[in-house]
Structure 1
């Protein structure tokens, strides 16, 4: 694996652990695609650091389980904003 890829994997993993960021937020932060972040965290990180991969996996699992709640809150905010504009 090339050094710059390893660096990106570790930087992204550290960012996710520190901030609890979603795959989407991490992708925006590092200017890569969501697919790249997902592959980095699910395939490359376990090869490089299994312990860190386990921690990151827990954060991503938590985000996955909360996704439907965040989506509902975003919809609620959008409709409240539309109501106030009228």
Structure 2
């Protein structure tokens, strides 16, 4: 594994563990794709640091379990914003 990939895997993994970030959030912070982050923390990390891999896996599982709540909130905000902008246009 190349040094820069090794370093990224550790940085992304520590970021996710410390901040409880989602894969999407980590990808945005580190300027890589969601697929890259996912591969880093599910495949590559296991070969580098098994203990950290388990901790990150717990965060990912928690985020996955909560995903439907966040999605519902995002949809609610979207429609509220649309309603507010149409109210302004009508008023």
Same fold (TM over 0.5): yes
- Over the aligned positions, Cα root-mean-square deviation in angstroms equals 0.8
Mind listing any 5+ residue stretches in structure 1 that lack a counterpart?
Answer: none
Runs of 4+ in 1 over 3 A off after TM superposition: none
Larger radius of gyration: 2
User: How many residues were matched structurally?
Assistant: 86
Q: Name the structure 2 match of 1:10.
A: 10
1:28 counterpart = 2:5: no
The 5 Å alignment of 1:26-65 reads: 26-65=26-65
Provide the TM-score with structure 1 as the length reference.
0.95
Deviation at 1:84, TM superposition (A): 2.4
Q: Secondary structure at the match of 1:71?
A: helix
Normalising by structure 2, we get a TM-score of: 0.90
What CA deviation, in whole Å up to 9, does each residue of 1:30-79 have, x standing for no partner?
11111110100010001100000000000011111111110000111111
User: Which sections of structure 2, spanning at least 5 residues, go unmatched?
Assistant: none
